[in-house]
Amino acid sequence: MSYTHLDYEHKERVAYITLNRPEKRNAFNAILVKELSRAFATAEKANDVRVIVLRANGKAFCAGADLSYIQELSRFTFEENLEDSETLMRLFVQMYKLKKPIIAQVQGPALAGGCGLATVCDIIIASEDAVFGYPEARIGFVAAMVMIFLVQRVGEGRARELLLTGKTISSREAYTIGLINDVTDHNKLEEKVREYSLQISRDVSGSSVAITKEIFAKLSGLDVQSALAFAARMNAATRMTEDCKRGIQAFINKEKLKW
């Protein structure tokens, strides 16, 4: 399957989706959004893929929307803009509900929609030189699509600060406020992500990961009683899976599992 704006490969049970528009700082447009959706679907269906890494070629992770794309959107009707917005919405929902963990490997700028792409991932590992921000308000736009995911990551107070000021923060500050999960030296970023991915694929049940992500995706819209009732059902169902039966037997026999 060929792509024009990204590369796709998998090895060692890890799928690598690599934004490949370095001359445009990996800015996205309608083509890239559709290709990302296709690549994530491919990785989710692949039986030999346990973890997905979203990364980018060049000095930037993703600088947001392509300038020519923004100019095109400004000429759209409301209906055309709504259709385009819903395409991005479907990508974010797809990533959020995906049955396999997604790790964002971030170097350089991750801004606007690029920061949104990272925010929707399950885990974000960034280099020391990475910067994050939602500068949409500075050009009269809003980061509406990613807001719900940002609030879940950092809380409403921090989300309001980032979105209302449009400021850019360092990877260290992003780590401090809980936006990202780890910071490492630029030269060690690729290996750090690889080791992290292999650890998940080796030590964690794929079935458990899929069920955990399903629970996360549904809990936020439920009241406490409904959330606990749903969690109880999922708990009971998990006990019936082959992975759980295998895990219990290994625990009883004091055997180390390799998933």
What strand order describes the sheet that includes 14-19? Answer: 6-11, 14-19, 51-56, 102-106, 123-127, 182-184
80-83 long-range CB contacts below 8 Å, 24 or more apart? Answer: none
> Per-residue pLDDT tens for 97-133?
999 999 999 999 999 999 999 999 999 999 999 999 9
Question: When comparing pLDDT for 172 and 72, which is higher?
Answer: 172
Catalytic residue numbers, as ranges: 136
Instruction: Name the token pair of 225.
Output: 């009683």
> Per-residue pLDDT tens for 35-57?
999 999 999 999 999 999 999 99
Residue found by looking up tokens 């439920």 in the block: 222
Give the phi and the psi of residue 143 in degrees, each rounded to 5: -90, 55
Burial of 251 (0-12, 13-18, 19+ CB in 10 A): exposed
> Per-residue pLDDT tens for 213-238?
988 888 877 888 888 888 888 888 78
Instruction: Name the token pair of 205.
Output: 């049940």
Does residue 70 contact residue 17 with C-beta atoms inside 8 Å? Answer: no
Does residue 40 contact residue 94 with C-beta atoms inside 8 Å? Answer: yes
- Neighbouring residues of 211: CB distance < 8 A, sequence distance ≥ 6: 234, 237, 238, 241
Give me the pLDDT at residue 85, please: 83
Homologous superfamily of 6-202: 2-enoyl-CoA Hydratase; Chain A, domain 1 (3.90.226.10)
Instruction: Give domain limits for the chain.
Output: 6-202, 205-252
Give the integer Cα–Cα distance in Å for 94 and 61: 20
Does residue 206 contact residue 243 with C-beta atoms inside 8 Å? Answer: yes
Half-sphere exposure of 110 (CA within 13 A, CB side): 32
Does residue 115 contact residue 167 with C-beta atoms inside 8 Å? Answer: no
- pTM score over 0.75: yes
What's the first-to-final CA gap in the chain, in angstroms? Answer: 28
> Per-residue pLDDT tens for 75-94?
878 888 788 888 899 999 99
Reported in sequence order, the residue ranges of 60-166 that DSSP labels E, i.e. its strands, are 102-106, 109-111, 123-127, 131-133
Can you say how many angstroms the Cα of residue 132 is from the centroid of all Cα atoms in its chain? Answer: 14
